[in-house]
């Protein structure tokens, strides 16, 4: 079981002291978010792994894309809901609430994205993300054409697949290590 102040159930202490660049990154998180996300603390036992994780996260979730930040967070929640990832549902559910300005949307996506009042674009995006999560080998051109039909470009399809795949990986790591979300996420954007 995870200790109250530990980010996971594994005994992998953070590098101490943190390298200057890592400490700066953590300080930025503290200033912007009011916390250092436990996922970052969890990876901080190995700075190379932390840097690889943050580079991929920052590219997929914050980099240039035809997908909005909200859409990327919606994918994270859809995938995490299927995988029942407590960490990601809590953290990314909070992000959906914040970015959408709609606490109900965040909760609906956490519980069952199909009950949310979504437009055709969002529905197609989440259907594709769900299929990546549950049956990726069964994706066909028909599935990609359904995304194109609602306005997604081939680059957007790549980004949808990449975000969904990333959260399938991180969900499994979080579940396997009993990664716990920061308490601060629970009250955000309610």
- Based on the domain organization, do 100 and 163 belong to the same domain? yes
The pTM for the full model equals 0.94
- Based on the domain organization, do 93 and 177 belong to the same domain? yes
Q: Is the pLDDT of residue 5 over 90?
A: no
The pLDDT > 70 percentage for the chain reads 94
Q: What range does the domain containing 54 cover?
A: 20-62
- Based on the domain organization, do 84 and 175 belong to the same domain? yes
pLDDT tens string 22-37: 999 999 999 999 999 9
Long-range contacts of 151-156 (CB under 8 A, 24+ apart): 151/121, 152/66, 152/121, 152/124, 152/125, 153/66, 155/65, 155/66, 156/65, 156/66, 156/67
Q: Is the pLDDT of residue 149 over 80?
A: yes
Query: Could you tell me if 38 and 44 are in contact, meaning their C-beta atoms sit under 8 angstroms apart?
Result: no
- Based on the domain organization, do 93 and 132 belong to the same domain? yes
Query: 11 lies in a domain?
Result: no
Query: 8 lies in a domain?
Result: no
Query: 5 lies in a domain?
Result: no
pLDDT tens string 125-138: 999 999 999 999 99
Long-range contacts of 23-29 (CB under 8 A, 24+ apart): 25/54
Query: 53 lies in a domain?
Result: yes
- Based on the domain organization, do 127 and 165 belong to the same domain? yes
Q: How far apart are CA 80 and CA 96, in angstroms?
A: 13
Range name among 3-12, 76-85, 105-114 with the lowest pLDDT average: 3-12
Query: 153 lies in a domain?
Result: yes
Q: Is the pLDDT of residue 12 over 90?
A: yes
- Based on the domain organization, do 91 and 132 belong to the same domain? yes
Q: Is the pLDDT of residue 8 over 70?
A: yes
Query: 183 lies in a domain?
Result: yes
At residue 3, the pLDDT reads 57
Q: Residue 57's domain is classified under what CATH number? A: 1.20.5.810
Indicate the residue among 31, 62, 93 that finishes a domain.
62
Q: Residue 168's domain is classified under what CATH number? A: 1.20.1290.10
Q: How far apart are CA 12 and CA 180, in angstroms?
A: 14
Among positive and negative, which fits the CA dihedral 42, 47, 48, 54? positive
What's the mean pLDDT when you consider all of the chain?
94
At residue 189, the pLDDT reads 64
Q: Is the pLDDT of residue 2 over 70?
A: no
Query: 3 lies in a domain?
Result: no
Span 110-118, average pLDDT: 96
Query: 2 lies in a domain?
Result: no
- Based on the domain organization, do 57 and 97 belong to the same domain? no
- Based on the domain organization, do 75 and 53 belong to the same domain? no
At residue 183, the pLDDT reads 76
pLDDT tens string 26-69: 999 999 999 999 999 999 999 999 999 999 999 999 999 999 99
Long-range contacts of 118-127 (CB under 8 A, 24+ apart): 120/150, 121/150, 121/151, 121/152, 122/71, 122/74, 124/149, 124/150, 124/152, 125/67, 125/71, 125/74, 125/75, 125/152, 125/160, 126/74, 126/75, 126/78
- Based on the domain organization, do 74 and 165 belong to the same domain? yes
Based on its alpha-carbon atoms, the radius of gyration of the chain, rounded to whole angstroms, reads 17
Q: Which of the four pLDDT bands, split at 50, 70 and 90, describes residue 4?
A: low
């Amino acid at each position: 079981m995870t200790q109250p102040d530990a980010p996971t159930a594994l005994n992998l202490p953070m590098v101490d002291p943190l390298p200057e660049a890592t400490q700066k990154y953590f300080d930025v998180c503290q200033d912007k978010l009011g916390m250092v996300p436990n996922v970052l603390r969890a990876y901080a036992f190995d700075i190379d792994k932390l840097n690889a994780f943050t580079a991929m996260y920052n590219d997929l979730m914050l980099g240039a894309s035809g997908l909005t930040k909200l859409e990327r967070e919606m994918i994270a929640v859809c995938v995490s809901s299927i995988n029942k990832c407590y960490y990601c549902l809590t953290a990314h559910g909070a992000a959906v609430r914040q970015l959408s300005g709609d606490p109900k949307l965040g909760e609906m996506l956490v519980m069952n994205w199909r009950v949310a009042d979504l437009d055709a674009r969002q529905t197609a995006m989440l259907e594709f993300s769900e299929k990546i999560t549950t049956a990726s080998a069964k994706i066909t051109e028909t599935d990609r054409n359904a995304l194109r039909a609602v306005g997604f470009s081939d680059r957007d399809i790549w980004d949808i697949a990449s975000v969904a795949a990333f959260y399938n990986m991180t969900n499994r790591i979080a579940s396997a290590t009993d990664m716990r979300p920061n308490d601060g996420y629970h009250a955000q954007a309610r």
